[in-house]
Amino acid sequence: MGITMDTSVSSLLTNKRRVGALKALGIVTVGDALTYYPFRVSPPVPARALREARVGEAMAFAAVVRESRVIPMNGRRGFRLVATVDDAAFAASRRIPGSSAELVFFSGRKSFIDWTAMRLRVGATVVIAGQPSEYNGRLQFTHPQIVTVAPQSVGGADAAGGESAMFIPATSSLRHDADDVRTGLERVCRPRPVYHATSRISSDHIHETIVGFLRALADGNGADDGAGPAGPADPAGPSAPGASAAAGFADDDALRPRPVPSAAVLPDILPERVRAERGLMHRSDAFAAIHDPDTTAEFDRAIATMRYEEAFICQTALLRARRDAQDSAAEPCADTALRDRFIASLPFDLTAGQRAVVDDIAADMAADRPMQRLLQGEVGSGKTVVALAAMLQAVGSGRQAVLVAPTQVLAEQHHATICRMIAALGAPADGGEGGDTVVSAGTRAAGRTGRAADPHARDIPDIPVILLTGGMKLAARRRALAQTASGTPCIVVATHAAFSKTFQAPNLALAVIDEQHRFGVEQRESLRAKSDRSPHLLVMTATPIPRTAAMTWFGDLDISWLTELPGGRKPIRTVVVPEADSHTMGRMFAHLRRRIDAGERAYIVCPRIDPDTDPDADDAPDGRAAAADDGTADGIGVYDESDAYAGLEAGVTDQPTRPPLHAVSEIAARLQSLPQFAGIRFATLTGRDDDATKQQVMASFADGDTPVLVATTVIEVGVDVPEASCIVIFDADRYGLSQLHQLRGRVGRGGTNSWAFLISRAEPATPAEARLGVIQGTLDGAEIAQADLEFRGAGDVLGDAQSGGKSSLKLLRVVKDADLIADARTRAAALLAADPDLHGETQLAGAVLDFTRGNETFLTSN
């Protein structure tokens, strides 16, 4: 049958276990497999005799098994396999005397030990690759890679085993990994890709399967049905290596000449001129060199080719999206009188940056094409004031505006803030949940701000401010939906409810998305369908994103930065406190009590809700963001067989066991029992609480009835309590920098001195300790963002949906590849200028279409 990139993996593999394991990695089609890139390639392993071994340096050799025994491990459950091998014949071929060594394997599963012992039966010829060590004066290899060699015909000999063929009949039904020692050594000595694997499938099996797919593409035929048996998998570690037949391909597939599919089967996506000018490989050659490289230099060149391809597709899609958006029609909103009155009513002056952004937005909204602007601002830089000015420009022009927030707590906070500001303006503000009540502007202005009501309030039209959330009562929700559906000029503050089909706003002229990285392309596009014309779009984020990254991911948007903090803000003092330092912890709690006695508030942040459950998906440290001490992401079961196979099989790893994360309920109980907090009332807040409880807790905290709030990261965005001057973050070493910066921004909003205490259990000289050093040393969001990208990668900073997770960007790195991206953008712009619809580049047109329409992880629309 014909094999293409869209061919299902399940149609090629007969081993359903293998199919399921690949599906868990996101590999469903052949295309998914080829773009499941190895994260590194192992360097070539030199072939050495045992007498040439150097402790700690990887090597490969051929040997014969002389003894094999299984020993139960004393003191703990499990078994140990010890096999003695000698390399007399192999060493003789190198004119070196032979020697012996021990191969050691540990496992809690007897099935794995028995299967390995079967492969290392006495007399078997094997090729071994691993790192030698010394134990009791003998050379030892712990969990090395094994390649079994087929025995020669009776009377024959090979370079490793001499007369070893006599030990195993040539008619044996056992399957072997290599036909002879030479091919076995080629297999383990050449560079080998290393993939992120799981306990269900090893890196070797992933490699062999992908090479099999490449061969199927090159041959134009289906895969072998590979009926051979596979060794039993050890649940403590990866599937047992060596059972490649289970993949549906012959065992010697990886040993045959490297498969390279033809250009007709894997056509190039990059224009020929671009590929030639950049000196890039053809796509089919690149896939072959990535998954089956002859040299590390060839692997690096192939990865560079696919990285540039990603950049070119991405930038072409961005430029086309920007062009298409500019071609659509929008409702001009040119009346700025109401906006100007609002700005004049503020009890403070806008910063120069705010004023400039307000003017830019005004110019965009006055045009008959939709504004598309990203507003990035530091925590507390005044983005809400800028957004409200834009919304009042829409309302003043007789249109509707909607502000979409990611959480109900933030939506309610925005609703209260907007009502208060409009009341100060002197306009009647409808602050009811569903449009129930109209509150006197003069009363609000005099009662909440202490300022006299504007004598010209009667000249200002009513400005309904409607709250729409999923947690509203049905009657209130219906009233809110009816009011927006009527087309009445108003401001709507909503959560994800704004994306529902029941929300209709026929007069919608402006959509403001707060914390844009929490919403996806379909949600943003749904707002555009609410009105006959495309609404102007303003997306905001306080998540620090470097300019290079913003230009990459949001290239279809105009970008504004707010870098100045409003007057009266004082720098937040950040202190890293080792949890084991009880003296400093005590001083910190005493400091919190003094601030509380002075009428201020304190946040205590914990990553878990309960101590006996896993971190809540909404409240835990950003699993995408929090890099583990070993450099991988928390909560992601990444397995590198070449580095950790021995430890996992033995039930032991080199990584220290981490203590459990702190929980809200646990910390609240502990702190209330401390003498420093005698007589102080505590409150708790988590994502598990219902909406009514959240409202009550936040109101009580803001009023000072419960001056200490123990919460999860549900408070990360938008919570604004000016009296809050201290925040304590437990397990701070498990968070990403951007999230710590966001949490720290919850304090210092009232003009008082403020402190952020980062409680850490990080070991010295680890990446976790380095991250905390960055957050302690600067308040500059751009610097933090740059460091965050270097620690974690762009996908983690911008969210899972922005990492290109399913099928788009997997190699592109926005910091290190900034120059490459700029080059791709320039070349893509030139190509589109000459061929706007890509009629001459059908493969590129298809890739761009997949990227923008078929892929829900379209970066710029997120």
pLDDT 10s digits, 59-68? 999 999 999 9
Instruction: Indicate the domain borders of the chain.
Output: 9-39+194-234+243-266, 50-190, 296-328+805-854, 337-366+382-541, 572-778
* 671: its two tokens: 């702190």
Other beta carbons less than 10 A from residue 567's beta carbon: 9
Helices 296-327 and 818-834, interaxial angle, to 10°? 50
pLDDT of residue 611: 78
Residues 713 and 726: their CA atoms lie apart, in Å, by 15
- How are beta strands 132-135 and 138-142 bridged, if at all? antiparallel
Closest CA to 860 of 53, 420, 320, 135: 320
The residue type of 81 is L
Chain CA centroid to CA 366, Å: 38
- How are beta strands 145-149 and 125-130 bridged, if at all? antiparallel
* 787: its two tokens: 């460091």
CATH class of the domain comprising 337-366+382-541? alpha beta
Q: In b/e form, how buried is each residue of 418-454, taking b as 16+ CB within 10 angstroms? A: bbbbbbbbbbbbbbbbbbeeebebbebbeeeeeeebb
Residues 476 and 474: their CA atoms lie apart, in Å, by 6
378 neighbors 367 (Cβ within 8 angstroms): no
CATH of 572-778, one of 3.40.50.300, 3.40.1280.10, 3.10.450.50, 2.160.20.80: 3.40.50.300
The model carries a pTM of 0.60
Q: What is the DSSP letter of 249?
A: S
Same fold, 337-366+382-541 and 572-778: yes
Other beta carbons less than 10 A from residue 340's beta carbon: 16
pLDDT of residue 725: 93
List beta partners, residue 639. Answer: 197
pLDDT of residue 379: 65
Residues 733 and 714: their CA atoms lie apart, in Å, by 18
φ, ψ for residue 325 (rounded to 5)? -65, -40
pLDDT (tens digit, 9 = 90+) per residue, 90-125? 999 999 999 999 999 998 888 889 989 999 999 999
Sheet strand arrangement including 572-578: 572-578, 754-760, 724-729, 601-605, 708-711, 682-685
Other beta carbons less than 10 A from residue 655's beta carbon: 12
523 neighbors 496 (Cβ within 8 angstroms): yes
| Cα dihedral 843→844→848→853 (10° resolution) | -20
pLDDT of residue 456: 45
Closest CA to 518 of 798, 836, 767: 798
* 116: its two tokens: 């390995």
- The answer for residues whose C-beta is within 8 angstroms of residue 711's C-beta and 6 or more apart is 603, 604, 605, 606, 664, 684, 685, 686
Q: In b/e form, how buried is each residue of 53-91, taking b as 16+ CB within 10 angstroms? A: beeeebbbbbbbbeebeeeeeeeeebbbbbbbbbbbbbb
pLDDT of residue 591: 95
Residue segments in the chain with a per-residue pLDDT below the cut of 70 = 1, 75, 152-174, 220-258, 325, 378-380, 426-461, 515-530, 543-556, 565-569, 612-658, 717-718, 782, 785, 789-808, 814-815, 853-862
* Residue 179 burial by Cβ neighbours in a 10 Å radius (0-12, 13-18, 19+): middle
Chain CA centroid to CA 683, Å: 32
* 133: its two tokens: 């060590």
SS3 63: strand
What's the alpha-carbon Rg for the chain, to the nearest Å?
32
- The answer for residues whose C-beta is within 8 angstroms of residue 669's C-beta and 6 or more apart is none
Rounded alpha-carbon distances, angstroms, from residue 840 to 141, 283, 313, 595, 673: 57, 18, 15, 68, 73
pLDDT of residue 581: 92
- The answer for residues whose C-beta is within 8 angstroms of residue 407's C-beta and 6 or more apart is 495, 714, 717, 718
SS3 374: strand
CATH number of 50-190: 2.40.50.140
Alpha helices in 47-180 (DSSP H): 88-93, 110-119
Residues 254 and 243: their CA atoms lie apart, in Å, by 13
